[in-house]
């Protein structure tokens, strides 16, 4: 039975927040003693004051991670032993479902219906999948012939830095932590300053599951302080980042300025959804609306450009408009809410700026308002623009909000050209009943994932990542282990 808004409001008020750095298996204040406020975007109220980690805290965490790695306390375990710990951790996520869901809802405004059914179960499932894969990764024997034995072994890198954004703070942390830990590395996690609470609880649960001290450390703080320090640290072997393209470029620079550490980036997107005349328009409209309005549009792979054949354009616009107008921003602790606030008032202001630019360059179909609920001004209406010029700001820049841009095409070639004319290449969607068209269009699209007759197809069994300025890292699937391990050749003559 669905629980009430009153129930979740009461439970939220009873939560105990972890708000210090997690280093060497325990909570410790920042070296500087400084703290920062983390806010509930739905109410603008301060949830708690969190340790403001900086370069000294990052160094403390890296030293802890390096010591744990060198001791072999984790890397020296058998794959089966590491698997058992990670599986216990995944179960603890499930056992603490309600608490973790509430942390996600309070920290970034996600509807409780999503955090309960998508975010936390998804994180647990992906952690379990990577855990179960550990003892199925085989080394190789090269076909050298003669009296030679050449072994190609997969070995951990050492200390992995992980920097994740606020839109899926629990899930994206797990996407990177799970494979990094699975192959034997230590990890230093820097969550977004807007969403530190679930990461700190996650680390505590890892310890409860039996993860040795120092193997996972969490340093909350700001990007220009803790994030930059992690990118520049000379004893970090690899840095995995999900976030904006602008910040991803900074991490590449940090690597060049320090120890040439590996940097794996999953960055921005401006993903197209291409709808052809023979498509199932009801299904296309349903998924097109979900693809841009889910999570308030705060999804790197959101299908933010709807490219429609000119013969069905008005029909599709009306269908998607009807879906959009059914979504009313509301209290994220209300189980009936499907659209919560943006992650912060500052981000809502940024999205509102794009909406203002859109009013000057296109036709506003619906939405466009920045709404207030009590003291919070973080709510944005689902918004659709049509008749948008190809070079308009809202057609080219990642808005990261519930704003859909509709453009038309005449034929398949123009559709592919329009879809690819962006600096990004993260995802795309194609809607058609013609198999030949589906495959030929997907061949022509520069995107890491092309979904046919759906949007944002995702599974731990398939890699997720992009092309061009959407980055080049790949999360999920067996390929994710490649980022966090090195190939070592051991050659024996006998």
Partners of 407 in the beta sheet? 307
Which structure tokens are listed for 400? 């990261």
Provide CB contacts within 8 A for 95, sequence distance 6+. Answer: none
Are 198 and 170 contacting, i.e. CB atoms less than 8 angstroms apart? yes
Classify 488 as helix, strand or coil. strand
Confirm whether 397 is a catalytic residue. Answer: no
Helical pair 79-95 and 97-108, crossing angle rounded to 10 deg = 70
Provide CB contacts within 8 A for 339, sequence distance 6+. Answer: 111, 293, 296, 327, 328, 329, 330, 382, 402
Handedness of CA 62, 66, 67, 69 (dihedral sign): positive
94: left (phi over 0), alpha (psi -120 to 50) or beta: alpha
Candidate list 99, 225, 266, 398, residue with the active-site label: 266
Place of tokens 């984790």: 74
Q: Classify residue 212 by its DSSP letter.
A: P
- b/e sequence 435-467, b meaning 16+ C-beta within 10 Å: eebbeebbebbbbbbbbbbebbebebeebbbbe
Q: Classify residue 219 by its DSSP letter.
A: -
Are 6 and 332 contacting, i.e. CB atoms less than 8 angstroms apart? no
Active-site residue numbers?
266
């Amino acid at each position: 039975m669905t629980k009430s808004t009153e129930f979740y409001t009461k439970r939220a008020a009873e939560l105990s927040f972890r708000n210090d750095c997690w280093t060497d298996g325990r909570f410790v204040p920042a070296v500087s003693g400084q703290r920062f406020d983390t806010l509930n975007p739905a109410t603008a109220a301060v949830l708690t004051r969190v340790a403001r980690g900086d370069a000294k805290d990052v160094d403390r965490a890296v030293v802890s991670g390096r010591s744990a790695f060198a001791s072999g306390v984790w890397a020296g375990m058998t794959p089966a032993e590491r698997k058992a710990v990670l599986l216990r951790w995944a179960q603890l996520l499930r056992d603490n479902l309600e608490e973790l869901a509430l942390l996600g809802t309070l920290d970034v405004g996600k509807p409780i219906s999503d955090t309960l059914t998508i975010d936390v179960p998804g994180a647990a499932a992906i952690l379990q999948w990577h855990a179960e894969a550990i003892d199925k990764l085989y080394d190789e024997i090269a076909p050298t012939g003669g009296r030679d034995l050449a072994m190609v072994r997969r070995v951990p890198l050492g200390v992995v830095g992980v920097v994740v954004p606020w839109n899926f703070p629990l899930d994206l942390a797990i996407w990177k932590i799970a494979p990094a830990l699975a192959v034997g590395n230590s990890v230093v996690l820097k969550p977004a300053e807007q969403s530190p609470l679930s990461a700190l609880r996650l680390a505590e649960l890892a310890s409860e599951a039996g993860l040795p001290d120092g193997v996972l450390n969490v340093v909350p703080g700001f990007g220009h302080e803790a994030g930059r320090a992690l990118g520049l640290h000379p004893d970090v072997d690899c840095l995995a980042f999900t976030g904006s393209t602008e910040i991803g470029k900074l991490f590449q620079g940090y690597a060049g300025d320090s120890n040439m550490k590996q940097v794996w980036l999953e960055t921005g997107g401006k993903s197209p959804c291409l709808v052809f005349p023979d498509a199932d328009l009801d299904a296309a409209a349903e998924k097109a609306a979900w693809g841009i309005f889910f999570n308030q549009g705060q999804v790197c792979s959101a299908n933010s450009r709807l490219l429609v054949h000119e013969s069905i354009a008005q029909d599709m616009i009306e269908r998607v408009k009807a879906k959009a107008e059914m979504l009313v921003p509301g209290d994220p602790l209300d189980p009936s809410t499907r659209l919560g606030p943006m992650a912060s008032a500052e981000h809502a202001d940024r999205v509102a700026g794009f909406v203002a630019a859109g009013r000057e360059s296109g036709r506003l179909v619906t939405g466009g308002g920045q709404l207030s609920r009590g003291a919070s001004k973080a709510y944005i209406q689902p918004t659709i623009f049509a008749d948008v010029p190809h070079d308009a700001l809202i057609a080219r820049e990642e808005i990261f909000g519930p704003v859909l841009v509709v453009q038309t095409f005449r034929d398949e070639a123009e559709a592919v050209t329009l879809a690819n004319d962006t600096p990004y290449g993260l995802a795309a969607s194609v809607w058609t009943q013609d198999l030949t068209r589906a495959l030929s269009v997907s061949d022509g699209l520069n995107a890491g994932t092309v979904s046919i007759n759906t949007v944002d197809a995702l599974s731990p069994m398939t890699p997720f990542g992009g092309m061009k300025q959407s980055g080049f890292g790949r999360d999920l699937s067996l390929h994710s282990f490649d980022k966090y391990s090195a190939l070592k050749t051991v050659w024996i003559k006998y």
